[in-house]
Amino acid sequence: MEVDRSDLFFEDSWSLFFGSYQDQDRPKAITLPDGLENLDECQRATFRVLEALGSFNRTTQGDFIQTKREEFFRKENIQQFIIAYFDGTVRPRSRIVLKSLFKISSVSTPLLLAIVLMGAICGGSGNVKSNAIEYTDLAELLIFENPSFQRLVYQKRSSDCDSLEMEDIELIQAAILMILIQISSPDAESRRRVRIHRYNTLVSVARSTGLTQVKNRWHVPSNPLDHELFLRNELSIRMMASIAMIDTHFIIFFNAPPVLSPFELDFDLPAEEAGVDISDSLAWEEWASNERKHQRPPPLNQLMQELLADNWTGIDDPRFQNLNIFTLFIIISSKGEHLF
């Protein structure tokens, strides 16, 4: 039986697994995402967030509520919460939003709101966390009931996610972040809702957009090296990996049946963090050219079949030489229904 547990918000072990934590040792000198140093841009972001929140519950919005929102989402807070998200709350192994691609002037409002709330909840003081929690249910509604997100839910199933627009990618990112926020909510109803309803909706999007079959394109020698396409392709892979790990979370902690079948986990594993962190295109091409000299592991479902086969070649197989912490977590979580 689930009970309210406000004292445990974002304190369980799974939060650490996903990287929702405050890094006390982060360096004082940080590189800000594009445009974040400009408080005028942060002010415009404030207007967008307030307008979006207000559009969903105008009937209950009084002067006091509006004033409280304006105080919480003021430009200085927007700036600090985003900094907290990128440099204090997200461990490198589980990043699904990349600082190199984030621009406060163009990021979609749903993703902006999700990042701000996660940064506030994971990196803020007790009062900041409590204030942020007040907006999580509304943010969840804004993201999952967004007409563009609903279009992704009901569109004709595709086997190719390369056609995903950045707007669609950011909606899926926002949905993943909101589920990660809400599965540790102090409110039992919110936790049940995202587990029973929202996560199933997210899986429907993964299926309809072809994320369950996403493959890396940059490692194929015949394909030209394209830094921007690599980053977008890597985002799709990391989103699908996170969706699969959330499935394992519900299996382990709630004894829920798996939503994704093993045969659906036909996606490639993420690339090394070093490649994701490179912002200079020429430096990235040098890294990618070197990576192409090494073999990559097969898609996750094929990898699991080989690991469990009697004729497995062992850890000396060159395809398994470059598995990092994140990919190992993905492999383990894919067998969660059998291990737990």
Residues 329, 324: Cα–Cα separation, whole Å: 9
Supply the Cα-derived Rg of the chain in whole angstroms: 20
DSSP label of 96: S
Better-predicted residue by pLDDT, 287 or 11: 287
The reported pLDDT for the residue numbered 35 is 85
The reported pLDDT for the residue numbered 55 is 80
Q: Are 326 and 14 spatial neighbours (Cβ–Cβ below 8 Å)?
A: no
How much is the pTM?
A: 0.86
Better-predicted residue by pLDDT, 203 or 263: 203
What three-state secondary structure class fits 310?
coil
The reported pLDDT for the residue numbered 188 is 92
Type of residue numbered 238: R
Looking at the predicted structure, is the pLDDT value of residue 34 above 70?
Answer: yes
CA distances from 177 to 66, 171, 236 (A): 25, 10, 14
CA distances from 123 to 95, 132, 162, 273, 274 (A): 16, 11, 34, 23, 25
The reported pLDDT for the residue numbered 92 is 47
Q: Are 16 and 77 spatial neighbours (Cβ–Cβ below 8 Å)?
A: no
The reported pLDDT for the residue numbered 314 is 66
Structure tokens at 220: 């194929």
Q: Are 102 and 132 spatial neighbours (Cβ–Cβ below 8 Å)?
A: no
Residue 178: name the closest of 88, 243, 264 by CA.
243
Looking at the predicted structure, is the pLDDT value of residue 26 above 90?
Answer: no
Type of residue numbered 44: R
Each residue of 317-338: pLDDT tens digit?
767 766 666 676 677 666 655 5
Residues 237, 217: Cα–Cα separation, whole Å: 11
Q: Are 233 and 312 spatial neighbours (Cβ–Cβ below 8 Å)?
A: no
Q: How many CB atoms lie within 10 A of CB 56?
A: 14
Q: Apex CA 15: angle with CA 87 and CA 21, to 5°?
A: 30
Burial of 272 per CB tally in 10 Å (0-12, 13-18, 19+)? middle
